[in-house]
Chain A
């Protein structure tokens, strides 16, 4: 859910961060729009198209995690109009009074939003946010190392002999603990200590069998440096294009579904342009541009028609029917739950 820069590889991210602020549009543009989004996540073609269509000068700034975005926006004086938080962070932004009720649900292109992404728990009825991209957190497995069933969290929670010492776990606390909770039979965000004790014991027993806890799997699995990993679907898709032996597994015990959404900030200076942008990205052709770049699905009906050919049938992107039910959104956990998770996480990485 966070460190999206790192989903695409630390080095790639670092290079993208060097070219952090890219501006499009003409000098004589009528207005401005300042977008604050994850690194290596926004298609420059999309920005250029928006800039031309509305004669707006667009400035794009990167962040690397939800917490970074939240802290900076909360501090004020940032000058951003748009932010793209993950699902479990949207309610925090709303509660802290940082988002404008821009009513995407009343916008012209809202009709294109896939009904399953309208009444979402983090923003019921879409009063604040428009869908950007959604994906899943599962496991990526190199079949040359392990040919068994990849559709289980046991790949990293109880690694088969072939994968001992070859498994990576991305150090993404919420995703990893979420999958581990579902693996032992609990619900994400649970405060049930019996469940959490099992989660801790499972993780602690599995850790000696891991190779590393690191980001940058797009490169490392493409290079055969890592044979299996907790990973995001879009990243795994990119790995498979480089290294056809890698498959994506949807843990049948439960895997994480996430979505990042576009919101307008309450202290935005260019509210009208920001609203135009929300409407703009709900157009199927434009939504397809978003997906073509970062390789995640977007939640806009009709965008498939404009998507790159290789994405239309990719099993990483189109969730196979048999695995659909096991996917779960991570809600915003209570402070008590989060404290427990941080304690488990610290113990795990001591």
Chain B
């Protein structure tokens, strides 16, 4: 009976397992295989084993004298993507935490309204939202013309195509992904504990640091992961708001599959990006496991 039940459960899970294997592992496997082949003349790959794709991820044969050195260009691009993602995570946390706290401390009926407002941006396509930001911050856009009309500035400030504009765009786009898990954690927070801490003469800072933050840590970690991972692979926002002078990992991958016509290098770079994501996820899982042990 018990065994039959287990078998039936496996049978019921079959469609999901097939989907996971075919839809998730399949393409990944293709990327892995392509990364160790030779690039075709015009696109695609030639079925000949080669480590060149992987070699080129980290190392660079100097284009002029063939000496091997660390691939400075790739490392700069990886670093830019990673630091921008970390900064995006930091700022969404900074803005998202008070927002989620505010919502969680409203009366129950109001909370639904506030949550609903947080999800409204998802109704519009990302590309359209990004173009809307561009319309606000461009040289003759709403922000600059308002400032000029008020007499605060004489000439437009270059806001578009700066690192700050990319960061602002990314924070705007990923903020809801931070607010929602934070809210879920804060919602479950027993505010009697906060009151108890005050009763025991804890200062406001102490309450936040030693009571609230430890209790909502799972939400903070979940939100950070949800923001950090898509930020790493962000394509549209940096491309539209950043002016394209400085590439991100995703733009570099696109270049290799497109005009560069070096699919093995592109595949190797994609897997490198995946490795970054895995590291972030492992950090998350270990953190949660530790959390469960302690709590």
A92 to B40, CA, bound (A): 12
| A196-B63, A197-B64, A335-B41 known; A350+B140 contact, CB < 8 A | no
CB proximity of B15 to chain A, nearest CB, Å: 26
A344 CB contacts on chain B under 8 angstroms? 63
Which single member of A14, A96, A214, A347 contacts B73 (CB below 8 Å)? A347
B74, B160, B244, B251 pick with most chain A CB within 10 angstroms = B244
For B75, the closest partner residue in chain A by CB is A350
A to B contact number (C-beta, < 8 Å): 95
Chain A residues within 8 Å of chain B by Cβ, number: 42
Which residues of A, 1-39, contact B by the 8 Å Cβ criterion? 2, 10-11, 14
- Whether A174 pairs with B243 at a CB distance below 8 angstroms is no
Q: Could you tell me the dominant secondary structure of chain A's interface residues?
A: helix
Task: Indicate if B161 sits at the interface (CB-CB under 8 A).
Answer: yes
Interface 9-mer from B19-27, B214-222, B256-264? B256-264
Q: Could you tell me the dominant secondary structure of chain B's interface residues?
A: loop
- Whether A350 pairs with B76 at a CB distance below 8 angstroms is yes
Chain B residues within 8 Å of chain A by Cβ, number: 37
- Whether A96 pairs with B42 at a CB distance below 8 angstroms is yes
For A91, the closest partner residue in chain B by CB is B42
Which single member of B42, B73, B139 contacts A346 (CB below 8 Å)? B73
- Return the CB mask of A116-155 against B: 1 if under 8 Å, else 0: 0000000000000000000000000000000000000000
- Whether A225 pairs with B160 at a CB distance below 8 angstroms is yes
- Whether B244 pairs with A171 at a CB distance below 8 angstroms is yes
B138 CB contacts on chain A under 8 angstroms? 223, 225
A71 CB contacts on chain B under 8 angstroms? 43-44
| A67-B43, A173-B259, A342-B255 known; A349+B247 contact, CB < 8 A | yes
For A346, the closest partner residue in chain B by CB is B73
B residues adjacent to A (C-beta < 8 A):
39, 41-44, 60, 63-64, 72-74, 76-77, 127, 131, 138-140, 158, 160-161, 240, 243-247, 251-252, 255-262
A residues adjacent to B (C-beta < 8 A):
2, 10-11, 14, 65, 67, 70-71, 74, 92, 95-96, 165, 168, 171, 173-174, 193, 196-197, 200, 207, 210-214, 223-225, 335, 338-340, 342-347, 349-350
